[in-house]
């Protein structure tokens, strides 16, 4: 059969299962002129899961899809988890005492398995119009609710915790014959992805009082894990003409961890503030891609094949700042980046790229970076102590293996024939710290910076090549294989 669309934002075929988004928690504003005030924000509700999605062209049939408008993808096959709802905000005022607790974010829904088989042709003519997209995407976790408290006596505020991102499902694409042509910029030929959802950020805590304040930022939510990606193309031609339009993209990408909530206090008496802890990044899983179709790209930064497993970055710790009387500030700790796993690419058909920064085969396994520690600042009468948060560790890079038995030609600058890399994640930076104390009869200020996070290791890289590679641009290498450990924070 055949499908053709003529207007903008008009995809050819869309096959989706979408989880619903969770509702936000209710906010609270509470006050007591002559007593104590307590406020607790409502919790966000969870997002729904997407369902399994299967798409097939008829046995022995050839499908034809043409789109002529901008933002008009040829074929979309997706399972997408719903985002979690945000926690409710809290505001309190009390003459004697205040307690405010932000609502927690709602957990995200998961993307489920996606399996697509397509045989035929796809042609798109305008910008941001990829040929085929096959994806599973986890929803983003809800953010924790913030807190603002003002009072005369003791004021305590605790930011709500961010919720976890949704996991993504396995993604499979199979084709005996795939013929794709895209004419516009930012229009990849084929995209096959599993992407974990990002964790929600922790809620802030801002408090002011004459007597004393205690503030604690909410912790970030953990990221969602990606799943395995497998794609097989028996034959055909994938041809992209515009800039930033890679021929084939196969990726497993872990979600980023949520950032810890910041905390700040202003008081005449004692002040204690603690930044929220960041959450860990999600892991990227294995990527297996076997290609027997010719690939040609004509634009700048348009690789022939790009296959990646990428760990999500760890969430950074929240800041902590307090000013007033004797003061103590502790920045939140950053969390670890997610690890990546093996990337395998096997190519048996010709690849040609015409412009700069357009690599023939780009295969990478990259561990996520650790989150930075939160900064800490304290200014107070007589005593002030500030301790920066600890940076998170980087994630480990996985193995990379490339087998190529076909000719590769690149013409642009820095357009390598084959670039295969395993890269360990870098450690997060330690949080900065500063403290100032003032006193008539003497004062003490102590500031201690947070420690940097540990880097992680890369893994084995193997390239097996049989055929001819021609590179014509400045700085281009025929084969560049690297195993690079991460840098410490």
Contact 260, 315 (CB under 8 A): yes
Written as six digits, the tokens of 100 are: 């405010």
Q: What's residue 59's pLDDT?
A: 82
Provide the pLDDT confidence category of residue 221 given band limits of 50, 70 and 90.
very high
Give residue 443's pLDDT.
Answer: 85
Q: How many CB atoms lie within 10 A of CB 7?
A: 10
Q: 186, exposed or middle or buried, with CB in 10 Å at 0-12, 13-18, 19+?
A: middle
Instruction: Tell me how far apart the alpha carbons of residues 268 and 332 are, in angstroms, rounded to a whole number.
Output: 24
| Alpha-carbon span 218 to 398, nearest angstrom | 32
- Helix/strand/coil for 157: strand
Question: What share of the chain in percent tops pLDDT 70?
Answer: 100
What's the angle, vertex CA 27, arms to CA 25 and CA 28, rounded to 5? 135
| Segment 184-194, tens digit of pLDDT | 999 999 999 99
Residue 442 above 80 pLDDT?
no
Q: What is the pLDDT of residues 104-132, one digit of tens each?
A: 999 999 999 999 999 999 999 999 999 99
Q: Residue 94's pLDDT band (boundaries 50, 70, 90)?
A: confident
In the predicted model, what is the mean pLDDT of residues 73-79?
Answer: 98
**Across the chain, what does the average pLDDT equal?**
96
Average pLDDT over residues 27-45: 90
Question: What per-residue string of b and e applies to 422-435 under the rule 16 or more CB within 10 Å gives b?
Answer: bbbbbbbbbbbbbb
User: Is residue 147 within 8 Å of 153, Cβ to Cβ?
Assistant: no
pLDDT digits (tens, 9 = 90+) for 256-292: 999 999 999 999 889 999 999 999 999 999 999 999 9
Residue 489 pLDDT greater than 80, yes or no:
no
Q: Is the pLDDT of residue 35 over 90?
A: no
Spatial distance between the Cα atoms of 474 and 301, rounded to a whole number of angstroms: 15
Residue among 180, 187, 275 nearest 235 (CA): 180
- C-alpha distances (whole Å) from 424 to each of 100, 305, 397, 405, 419 are 41, 22, 4, 28, 16
SS3 210: coil
CA gap 50, 43 in Å, rounded: 22
Q: What is the pLDDT of residue 488?
A: 86
- Could you tell me if 395 and 336 are in contact, meaning their C-beta atoms sit under 8 angstroms apart? yes
pLDDT over 90 percentage in the chain? 91
What is the Cα Rg of the chain in Å? Answer: 26
> How many helices (H) and strands (E) would you count in the chain?
0, 42
- The predicted-structure confidence for 383-404, as pLDDT tens digits, reads as follows 999 999 999 999 999 999 999 9
Q: Is the pLDDT at 68 greater than 80, yes or no? A: yes
Tokens coding 200: 């929600």
């Amino acid at each position: 059969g055949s499908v053709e669309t003529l207007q903008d934002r008009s995809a050819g075929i869309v096959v989706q299962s979408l989880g619903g988004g969770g509702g936000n928690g209710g906010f609270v504003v509470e006050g007591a002129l002559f007593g104590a005030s307590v406020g607790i924000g409502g919790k966000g509700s969870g997002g729904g899961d997407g369902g399994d999605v299967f798409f097939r062209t008829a046995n022995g049939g050839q499908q034809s899809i043409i789109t002529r408008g901008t933002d008009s993808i040829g074929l979309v096959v997706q399972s997408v988890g719903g985002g979690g709802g945000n926690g409710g905000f809290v505001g309190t005022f009390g003459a004697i005492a205040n307690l405010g607790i932000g609502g927690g974010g709602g957990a995200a829904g998961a993307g489920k398995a996606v399996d697509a088989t397509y045989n035929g042709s796809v042609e798109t003519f305008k910008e941001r119009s990829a040929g085929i997209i096959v994806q599973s995407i986890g929803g983003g976790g809800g953010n924790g609710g913030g807190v603002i408290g003002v009072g005369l006596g003791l004021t305590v505020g605790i930011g709500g915790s961010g919720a976890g991102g949704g996991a993504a499902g396995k993604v499979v694409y199979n084709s005996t014959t795939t013929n794709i042509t895209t004419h516009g910029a930012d229009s990849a030929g084929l995209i096959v992805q599993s992407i974990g959802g990002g964790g929600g950020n922790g809620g802030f805590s801002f408090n002011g009082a004459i007597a004393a304040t205690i503030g604690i930022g909410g912790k970030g939510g953990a990221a969602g894990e990606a799943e395995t990606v497998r794609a097989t193309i028996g034959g055909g031609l994938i041809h992209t003409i515009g800039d930033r339009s890679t021929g084939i993209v196969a990726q497993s990408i872990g979600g980023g961890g949520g950032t810890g909530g910041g905390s700040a206090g202003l008081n005449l008496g004692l002040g204690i503030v603690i930044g929220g802890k960041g959450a860990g990044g999600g892991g990227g899983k294995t990527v297996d891609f076997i290609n027997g179709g010719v690939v040609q790209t004509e634009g700048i930064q348009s690789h022939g094949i790009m296959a990646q497993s990428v760990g999500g970055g760890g969430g950074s710790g929240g800041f902590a700042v307090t000013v007033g009387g004797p003061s103590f500030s502790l920045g939140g700790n950053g969390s670890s980046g997610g690890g990546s796993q093996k990337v395998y690419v096997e190519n048996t058909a010709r690849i040609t790229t015409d412009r700069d920064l357009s690599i023939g085969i780009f295969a990478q396994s990259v561990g996520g970076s650790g989150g930075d520690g939160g900064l800490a600042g304290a200014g107070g009468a007589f005593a002030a102590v500030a301790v920066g948060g600890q940076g998170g560790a980087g994630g480990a890079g996985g193995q990379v293996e490339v087998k190529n038995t076909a000719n590769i030609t690149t013409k642009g600058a820095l357009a390598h024939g084959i670039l295969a890399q395993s890269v360990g994640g870098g450690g997060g930076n330690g949080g900065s710290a500063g403290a100032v104390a003032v006193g008539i009869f003497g004062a003490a200020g102590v500031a201690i910076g947070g420690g940097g996070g540990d880097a992680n290791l890369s893994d084995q890289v193997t390239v097996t090549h049989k055929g001819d590679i021609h590179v014509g641009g400045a700085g281009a290498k025929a084969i560049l294989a690297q195993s690079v450990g991460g840098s410490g924070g």
